Structure 1
Amino acid sequence: MWRTGLQTRSEPVARMHELAPGERLLGWLYVGGRDRDKRGRRKPIHAKTMLTTL
């Protein structure tokens, strides 16, 4: 999930990410994580059913 907004342009966030003068954070990309309670391999997905093009 892509997340952007006022928080990405705030001074505290720029300091936390150690942005240089003139650098800007465009947003955050949330990629998820593993459920620690589940073990084993995930079922494969078929990209054609999950992705589209413009």
Structure 2
Amino acid sequence: MAGNQLRPVVTLKSTAGTGFTYVTRKNRRNDADRLVLRKYDPVAGAHVAFREER
């Protein structure tokens, strides 16, 4: 199916080194490179950058 290949599930890992992760989907056509989102890390207690890991 084209939908599964176009919008894969990706894991976002905290750059704070806490090991906390988020799981989301991304559109490969719009975001071909690795996704970086600023989200809340409850272990660190602050908003930090979360980078896509493959």
Q: Judging by fraction of residues, say which structure has more helix.
A: 1
TM-score by length of 2: 0.20
Q: Judging by fraction of residues, say which structure has more strand.
A: 2
TM-score by length of 1: 0.20
